[in-house]
Amino acid sequence: MYDHHAPNAAPATGRSLRLIVTGGGTGGHTYPALTAIRTLQARLARSGGSLDVLWVGTDKGLEARVAPAEGIPFKTVATGKVRRSSNPLKMLSPANVKDMARVPLGAAQARSVVADFRPDVVLATGGYVAVPVGLAAKACGRPLVVHEQTVRLGLANKVLAKVAARVAVSSESTIGLLPESARATAVVTGNPVRPEVLAGHPDKAVQAVGLHGFDRSLPTVYVTGGAQGSAQINGLIAQLLPWLLQYANVFHQCGPANVEELAANAAGLPPHLAGRYHLTGFVGPELPDVLALADVVVSRSGAGTLAELTALGKAAVFVPLASSAGNEQAHNARHLQDAGAAAALLGEATPEALHQLISPLLADPHRRADMASRARALGRPDAAERLVDVLLSVAGAV
């Protein structure tokens, strides 16, 4: 088991390291990988070393945009997505059959990439593309580190856990869900959080965004449905808005396509309440400051969101995305709710149900503080450094 009090491993002076990162498709797999790369680069640079990195992904995943934009060399391999169904006949859909036909090609491409690059270590963060690359690492005798962001294992990581040198997980409760042969290799690192997210300041949010109508004696609720917004969350908040603004300031990130409709909904608010409501389609570099200002966050419950909110120690009300793979978001939300570290809207998502969850938090600052404290106890703000310790250890750099 990992010693959380152990000092960060320092690589040998002047060491250069060759790393293949694979994983992506979504932000949940992509951004932890990017944070790990940046943290490893910084660690090596401090000792006069350097990182030679190659990201292997698919041409359609988010990683195909993120890696080149960050100046990280990128290669693609063919991969197939398995569309899951409880009906075995539906698993034989034309789309599945077509995609599975791509798997042997992807495996051959992945083996060629790994053999040519000769990495000291391979990091797989999940998503379908990670499977051929992770298996190629094993075939080429290169050590593999698997990182799982969620409470339960994704399909790709379930396969790769059996051949990995180390399986880095975000939560103690994941270890019991690993294949038995992989449990001895498990390390609890947490889920890497971008360092800038942890460095926000509430007063900067007020200045940067012009929140001068906010009443700072009231708690601030930050509502977000992710970059595109969530029609479900937007609708719930729109119906609760007149009540909510009597007890809180509301910073509502609604998605660029939804601003007009929600602004029209808020147009009839009395001026003193309207000043407490800030509506925006998108939050950019000011996000860390907005999070610092927030006393309560209403959001989805993806793995990245959980990692950020627990690292920051924020009271949260989660509205899980019902269509997430394997109902993952509901599991994430329930995990935190069971620990008293969040409230979760797990039944029918009605304004009344959301009202019941938010109201006690706005009414009682001690309840908010207790929930925030329990969230912080689950948070791992040093997760990226912990994952880098594992990578260096496995690569033989310590």
Per-residue model confidence as pLDDT tens digits over 281-340: 999 999 999 999 999 999 999 999 999 999 999 999 999 998 776 688 999 999 999 999
Residues 20 and 120 in one domain: yes
Q: What is the pTM of this model?
A: 0.86
Q: How confident is the model at residue 227 (pLDDT cuts 50, 70, 90)?
A: confident
The label of the residue with tokens 């943290």 reads 39
Q: Within a domain: residue 117?
A: yes
> Crossing angle of helices 231-247/259-266, nearest 10°?
30
Calpha distance 182→186 (Å, rounded):
7
Q: Which residues of 368-385 are buried (b: 16+ CB within 10 A; e: fewer)?
A: beebbebbbebbbbbbbb
238 vs 262: CA distance, rounded Å: 7
Residue with tokens 């029918």, as numbered in its chain:
348
Domain range for 50 is 16-192+381-394
Same structural domain, 106 and 50 = yes
Nearest to 325 by CA among 28, 77, 98, 66: 28
Q: Which whole number is the average pLDDT over 350-357?
A: 97
Torsion of CA 80, 31, 111, 185, to 10 degrees: -100
Q: Same structural domain for residues 88 and 149? A: yes
- DSSP letter string, 344-396: E--S---HHHHHHHHHHHHH-HHHHHHHHHHHHHH--TTHHHHHHHHHHHHTT
201 and 169 within one domain: no
Does a structural domain hold residue 7? Answer: no
Note the pLDDT of residue 398. 44
User: In this structure, are 290 and 363 located in the same domain?
Assistant: yes
In this structure, the answer to whether residues 182 and 61 fall within a common structural domain is yes
Percent of the chain with pLDDT strictly greater than 90: 80
**pLDDT 10s digits, 103-155:** 788 899 999 999 999 999 999 999 999 999 999 999 999 999 999 998 888 88
Residue, of 310 and 397, whose pLDDT is higher = 310
Please tell me whether residues 92 and 199 are part of one structural domain.
no
Asked if 393 and 6 count as a contact pair (C-beta separation under 8 A), the reply is no
Q: How confident is the model at residue 6 (pLDDT cuts 50, 70, 90)?
A: very low
- Within a domain: 2: no
Task: State which H helix or E strand residue 303 sits in.
Answer: helix 303-312
87 lies in a domain? yes
Query: Tell me, what's the pLDDT at 81?
Result: 57
**Residue 72: CATH number of its domain:** 3.40.50.2000
pLDDT at 322: 82
Q: Could you tell me if 215 and 80 lie in one domain? A: no
Burial 107-120 (b: 16+ CB within 10 A, else e): bebbbebbeebebb
pLDDT tops 70 at residue 252: yes
Q: Does the residue 297 lie in any domain?
A: yes
Report the mean per-residue pLDDT for the chain. 91
219 shares its domain with 268: yes
Query: For the chain, how many structural domains are there in total?
Result: 2
Lowest mean pLDDT among 68-72, 185-189, 226-230, 391-395: 226-230
Does residue 214 register a pLDDT over 60? yes
Please list the residues that pair with 280 across neighbouring strands: 253
What pLDDT score does 11 carry?
52
269 plus 172 within the same structural domain: no
DSSP assignment letter at 3? -
51 and 70 part of one domain: yes
Pair 106, 212 in one domain: no
